[in-house]
């Protein structure tokens, strides 16, 4: 077993001890990235969730597609996804290409995955290959310009933790960190054009006075500094 495979097995073994991680849920889920991404998914023929886990997101959108697929590095999680009708398979994104034909999918989600892979450009190139022209990619990753993260670096002198799985490894296995501009440039290089940037804000932040004041600085500031995650939808134009 590869080192990264062992890490994600450990994470999923822990998660699966608590049955609320299984996809016996209805929208909304209470997960910031899942709820926001759900709003962006349109109807189509084939859908792929990269890093599908136990199939939670595929389960939510299955009525919008004729066929729903998923890939994940962790075999136990994939088995759970199969139980609810997701055409899921085990795949190590660091070593294997997607087992699908060019332009196979109308819509692909890649939520909180790109920060885990060894080479992000290889992942984006593969996502571009299996997305049909005119199709949609919905991608999510932590936003390193989020004010709390900047405060941690500049004021506290500590690099922020951007994962909820820090009990299993240093920052939950995150290897790369991105800003909105990084993601925009990377997607553009492989034929995607961003058409929407979701405002992924923590619910408790919206109640704070400092947050309400800073929102007055405009949507650009809000996108860059008040969103804890970068969550975009991008159309395949090439």
What pLDDT, in 10s, does the model give residues 169-199?
Answer: 888 889 999 999 999 999 999 999 999 988 7
pLDDT in tens, 73-111: 999 999 999 999 999 999 999 999 999 999 999 999 999
The pLDDT score that the predictor gives to residue 3 is: 61
Q: Cα separation of 92 and 97, whole Å?
A: 8
The reply to whether the predicted model has a pTM over 0.85 is: yes
> Does residue 129 register a pLDDT over 90?
yes
Q: Residue 6: pLDDT above 80? A: no
| Mean pLDDT rounded to a whole number for the chain | 88
| Band (164; pLDDT cuts 50, 70, 90) | confident
Domains, the chain, ranges and CATH? Answer: 3-236 (3.40.50.150)
């Amino acid at each position: 077993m590869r080192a990264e495979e062992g890490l994600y097995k450990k994470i999923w073994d822990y998660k699966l001890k608590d049955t609320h991680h299984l996809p016996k849920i209805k929208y909304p889920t209470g997960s910031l990235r899942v709820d926001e991404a759900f709003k962006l998914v349109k109807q189509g023929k084939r859908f792929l969730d990269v890093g599908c886990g136990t199939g939670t997101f595929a389960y939510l959108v299955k009525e919008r597609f004729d066929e729903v697929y998923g890939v994940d590095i962790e075999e136990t999680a994939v088995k759970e996804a199969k139980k609810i009708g997701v055409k899921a398979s085990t795949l190590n994104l660091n070593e294997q290409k997607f087992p699908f034909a060019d332009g196979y999918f109308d819509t692909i989600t890649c939520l909180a995955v790109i920060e885990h892979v060894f080479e992000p450009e290889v992942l984006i190139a593969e996502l571009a290959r299996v997305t049909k022209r005119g199709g949609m990619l919905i991608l999510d990753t932590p936003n390193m310009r989020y004010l709390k993260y900047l405060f941690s670096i500049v004021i506290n002198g500590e690099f922020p933790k951007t994962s909820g799985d820090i009990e299993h490894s240093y920052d939950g296995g995150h290897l790369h960190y991105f800003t909105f501009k990084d993601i925009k440039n990377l997607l553009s290089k492989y034929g995607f054009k961003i058409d929407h940037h979701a405002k992924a804000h923590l619910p408790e932040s919206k109640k704070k006075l400092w947050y309400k004041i800073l929102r007055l600085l405009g949507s650009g500031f809000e996108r860059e500094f008040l969103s804890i995650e970068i969550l975009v939808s991008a159309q395949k134009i090439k």
